[in-house]
Amino acid sequence: MKIYSSFTPKKPKKIWAKPKFLSKKFFIFFIILIILFLIIIFNLNSPKSSEQISLVDTNSSEKLSEAQIIGIKGIVQIYQQEENQWTNLNQDDILAEGSTILTSDSGRAIIKLPDGSIFRMNSNSQITLEQFNFANIVLIQEKGEVYHRVNEQSPSIYNVRHNLTESTALGTGFDLIVSEQNSELQVIASRVKVKVYENTDLDNILSMRTIDEGYYAKINPTLEPDKMIESEEKELADIINNDWLVWNKEQDSQLGVYLGIFEKNIVLTLSEPTQTELKTNEDKITIKGSTDTEAEIFIDGKDVKNNNGNFETEVALQAGENIINIVVKKDKKIEKKILYITKTDAEENITLTSTLQNKNLSLSWKINSETTPTGYRVFQATTNNISSGTEPYHFTENTSDIWENLADGTYYFRVCAFADDKCISWSNTISEKIGGVSASLSLTGTKTSNSISLTWSGENLTDNQFDNFHILFSNETTPSWPTSNYHVVNKLIFTDTLTDLTNDTEYKIRVCLFKDNDCQTYSNILTIKTDPAENTNTETPPTNSNPGAITLSGESEQSAVNLSLTTANPTNSEFFIMVSFSTEPTLENSDTVKTSNKNYRWANLKPATTYFFRVCQAVGEACGTYSNIISLTTK
């Protein structure tokens, strides 16, 4: 078809250029892409061995392989659903998805997940491996304390759930304590996102918050949504005083991972011993190390000379486990290492394990040396110290033994290889609890005017049964938990005083074992009537602004105590808080601090040591009214 026009068009300028896809570089790039595509097609059609399959190449819904016990101490058990019983776990045991793990009073476990993440279980803790695949790792933490160290390179989302609460790792390391509905979270490295759901179906979020590195959070789903998750930044000194977190710091350090809040701390390096956990039959151990040239150095609370950044000392060892605390301080920085040294009478070359069914205990052991004994003695005792060889025993030439129809109680067992009429090597010691032993409390008291002094005793009390004592009192009904009228008393103290009660009034009082936010066992009910009020017309001498009765109470922690005092007069100003090894602390024989704070934390104390505390009203630099004296033993 032709087109006609009434004008003659101008010759256009040459604006056409050779397309880039016709260039030499493009052809080379296109050929490379074709070659890569052919290689991929070839690999997809070729069979792969299991060793060649990468985690990130697998479909996200596919299950990972099993988890594994890589560290164990004491008794650690797994629930066998088919047999409906708990059985003991051993080092290197494999754990499948759905396994429920429980640690005993003195047990600990380190478990490695298939994605490379690790969690460490403290004593009296329980956790279920709900799910692990390439998309999600889900752990159900039922009780106790677990430290979670997440693999940063893992493709899986790491979730820890407890009832209505879910904690999702946004980095690497955090510690979680759970009890009943509540949770306590300490973030060591990176961040954790915490969610509280309306129900166990996890379909409606009521509260959500991201907890940053170095922060502590308390989660209580029973509160209003804006108060369910409360957090605060923790001082490094407070975290260092937690032996469990210090132990995990050492474990993480051996892995060479990011240490979070510990990363910028003062340096503390040990050259001897090279391990923080070891066994020896020596009577003493040499400790050598290095730190900042201006740092103060303390080993088990005693000053050690800083020799231009180096230090060296010897520590005597007792039979059994020795816990040695090494602390260095400079300004506000503080670092701590803990040595766990077990002194043995003879080398432990036998590994002992047990399985409990009903009241029958099956024992088996493995020999870790070339020892050739004539037989084995299997010792039984009611204490953890089995070393003399004088305890009741079975003799066998086999590497297994059975103790049948054991009565209720806690038993300890240890095996020795026997030759030449003596034990030539020993096993570890294991413990088993048979049946249930019920605890009981007996409460007595005396009155003085409008105060009541209380004393109680207990039978069959064990450390894991309760966290502390609660003293409940009422002038109307029989006191029961929950109540607003109560005192909290440390589990090592068996006395308390109720002060400033209403005169000429009958009170009902009882004490209980308190755990998991509830009273587990109650004492008898004590009924005491306070004295009538004194004649107010009687002239009384001036009190010199004394605040009246001062009541002191407290609770112990790891190398620290929390003290609380109450007074009849809330307007008093300052107090002297005294701590001493003397049973009657005074300003002269005590370490003191002057404060107006009625809640005080005394830190950096020696672990497993009993201290005596007392408070007095500060009248200048002297004491006015004194409080009661309490004794607390650090953990």
* Residue appearing with tokens 């299997």: 378
Res. 613: pLDDT tops 70: yes
Two tokens, residue 577? 């808080």
What is the span of the domain harbouring residue 219? Answer: 67-239
Cα dihedral 315→320→325→326 (10° resolution): 40
Residues 78 and 174 in one domain: yes
How many angstroms from the chain centroid is the CA of residue 191? 19
Q: Residues 411, 558: one domain? A: no
Q: What CATH code is carried by the domain that includes residue 352?
A: 2.60.40.10
CA–CA separation, 568 and 624 (whole Å): 14
* The residue to which tokens 């409390």 are assigned: 441
pLDDT at 56 over 90: no
How much is the pLDDT for 47? 40
pLDDT at position 285 over 60: yes
What pairs with residue 462 in β-bridges? Answer: none
Where a domain ends, among 276, 310, 343? 343
- The sign of the dihedral angle between the CA atoms of 248, 611, 501, 568 is negative
Whether residue 419 sits in one domain with residue 285: no
Alpha carbon separation from 44 to 41, 48, 283, 453, 628 (Å, rounded):
5, 9, 64, 81, 79
Long-range (24+ apart) CB contacts under 8 A made by 230-235 are 234/186
Instruction: Measure the CA–CA gap between 405 and 434, rounded to whole angstroms.
Output: 10
| 184 domain residue, yes or no | yes
Residue-level pLDDT at 392: 85
Both 221 and 191 in a single domain?
yes
- Residue the block writes with tokens 């956790």: 127
Same structural domain, 500 and 604: no
Using one digit for the tens of pLDDT, what is the confidence trace for 68-116?
999 998 889 998 777 677 888 998 899 988 999 999 887 899 999 998 9
Collect all residues with Cβ–Cβ distance below 8 Å to 284 and sequence separation of at least 6.
314, 315, 316, 317
Residue where the block lists tokens 């009577």: 283
Domain end, chosen from 413, 434, 455, is at 434
Range of lowest pLDDT (65-69, 239-243, 610-614, 623-627): 623-627
The pLDDT of residue 495:
84
Q: Say yes or no: 356 and 467 in one domain.
A: no
Indicate the number of domains in the chain.
Answer: 5
The CA distance from 577 to 590, in Å, is 9
In the listed set 321, 343, 365, which residue is the last one of a domain according to the structure? 343
Query: What confidence tens digit (pLDDT) does each residue in 415-431 have?
Result: 988 888 788 888 888 87
Provide φ and ψ at 191, rounded to 5°.
-140, 165
Q: Are residues 231 and 110 in the same domain?
A: yes
Whether residue 313 sits in one domain with residue 190 = no
- C-alpha dihedral over 460, 463, 468, 469, to 10 degrees? 10
State pLDDT tens for residues 180-213: 778 999 999 999 999 999 988 888 899 999 999 9
**Three-point CA angle 437, 438, 443, nearest 5°:** 140
Q: CA-to-CA distance for 367 and 385, rounded, in angstroms?
A: 21
Lowest mean pLDDT among 300-304, 310-314, 347-351: 347-351
Would the pLDDT of 26 be above 70?
no
